[in-house]
Amino acid sequence: MNPSFDVVVPTLGRPSLGRLLEALAAAEGPWPGQVFVVVDGGDETIDPPPGIARQVTVLSGAGAGPAAARNVGWKASAADWIVFLDDDVVPNPGWSVRLEHDLVGLPPDMAASQGRVRVPLPADRRPTDWERNVKRLESALWITADMAIRRQALETVGGFDERFRRAFREDADLALRLFDAGWSLVQGSRETLHPVGPGQFLKSVRLQAGNADDALMETLHGPNWYERADAPRGRRSRHLGATAALALALLTRRKTAWVLWTALTAEFALRRILPGPRTADEVARMAVTSALIPPAAIWHYARGKVRARRLARPGAVLLDRDGTLVHDVPYNGEPDRVVPLEDARDALARLRAAGLPIAVVSNQSGIGRGLLSTEQVQAVNRRVEELLEPLGPWFVCPHAPDMGCACRKPRPGLVVAAAEALGVEPARCVVIGDVGADVQAALSAGARAILVPNGKTRPEEVASAPLVAPSLSAAVDLVLEAAR
């Protein structure tokens, strides 16, 4: 049986939406069950082509950006797969046939299939800087211009992170959270056309607002997220140098500072001018915007750092039990064998003094394996609290690994449940644990994670963790620093 699929299109009501709907109506092969058009601002009057009108459902977004709009769309669907299309793309005539081919037979751990985006450029001249910028979409990984995502995968990680308010990096964030939750993504065979829209004079300057999302990505996924998402780091270090030279020149009026700024700006402008058509308009645009882009990029990055710090300020701390709070005794059902880690009492005292709510999230598969009773686990938990004082609510997964539950880490169930009980959004929770499953559960739920390795932590788990601390006390230092 072929999988069912719906299409979700977030839109601001741009004219290009009609072109997309016409392409869907004319496409050969299987049709989507529903096309959910989520209007996130602008004109909510949608006039779909007659051939597809009965399948188009118009939903209203909250004006919170494309990530939030996509969440509105997929949560309204009941299909096996959700195909996200941007409102400025045009699927090829054979798109539906190729989509079905891409989805049929995918293994159960495959979360998503990305369509191939093609950006047509003028054949009679060199492309402009703006056209070359759009052309880069052809080689970008995990963009949601055409991305089919398994419903189960979206449910596992909670969909798109609505803290990303622009159409930038929300797709990379979702991809990394899917990877952390154990899912895989694959390139499909279908093709989608992405025409180049008009490029206004200062559009490249306005696009520098995306640097704020880079700052948020660094906060959520660590400084190595660029490599993990195969995303270029760009010219931020050079932009910082040009901005510093300009500031020094304006403040001190030193000739050397002006010379340095001029040299850095000229190098940037030439890098953009030489591959292009070199018309008078294009050269003028490159000269002006090459001077404005560096300070704009640095301003938005700094602003994004401040915002990311505020958004990520911890509201609660969720702690693993074995190997994090107490020494790990496999399948321990004897309270007398509980031995806290040396720095656990002091670390917990500092969290309590800071007023941060605490909870424990612990896999106890010994219950599901028949090695322990629920009463034994509860007795051990009571002993932990006798030694370390009350720890807030406990959330325990009793299932064996092969039971397929939603609560066993690395799945996010325990983290989500603990956050709900504490009245805190998962995004404002920090999970501290000693193995990769703790990190993956946190990231899948949209929470932050700190790994505290011990002798049982695998090197690859340390390498992939966004934050690593040498001890529980050091992990609490990181939490309290972020809470200031």
Euclidean distance between CA atoms 54 and 44, whole angstroms: 17
CB 453 within 8 A of CB 472: no
Do 116 and 190 form a contact (C-beta atoms < 8 A)?
Answer: yes
Q: What is the share, in percent, of the chain residues with pLDDT greater than 90?
A: 74
Query: What confidence score (pLDDT) does residue 14 get?
Result: 81
Instruction: Say if residues 216 and 164 touch (Cβ distance below 8 Å).
Output: yes
Count of C-beta atoms within a 10 Å radius of residue 330:
8
CA gap 396, 360 in Å, rounded: 8
**Owner of token pair 């195969």:** 230
Domains of the chain: 5-199 (3.90.550.10), 200-311 (no CATH), 316-483 (3.40.50.1000)
Q: What percent of the chain has pLDDT over 70?
A: 99
What does the alpha-carbon distance between residue 188 and residue 143 come to, in Å, rounded to a whole number? Answer: 13
Q: Over 70: is that where the pLDDT of 42 sits?
A: no
Average pLDDT in the 137-164 region? Answer: 90
pLDDT in tens, 373-397: 999 999 999 999 999 999 999 999 9
H or E, element range at 388: helix 374-388
Give the tens place of pLDDT for each residue, 103-119: 998 999 999 999 999 99
Residue 235 pLDDT > 60: yes
pLDDT in tens, 182-228: 889 999 999 999 999 888 899 999 999 999 999 999 988 888 899 98
Exposed/middle/buried for residue 404 (C-beta within 10 Å: 0-12, 13-18, 19+):
exposed
Mean pLDDT of 3-12: 93
The catalytic site residues sit at: 320, 322
Query: Are 40 and 63 contacting, i.e. CB atoms less than 8 angstroms apart?
Result: yes
Distance CA(159)–CA(222), nearest Å, equals 20
> Cα separation of 309 and 311, whole Å?
6
Give the model confidence (pLDDT) of 304-354 as tens digits. Answer: 998 887 776 889 999 999 999 999 999 999 999 999 999 999 999 999 999
429-433 vs 448-451, strand pairing mode: parallel
Give the mean model confidence (pLDDT) for residues 128-135: 95
Model-wide pTM > 0.95: no
DSSP-assigned letter for residue 18: H
The three-class DSSP label of residue 82 is: strand
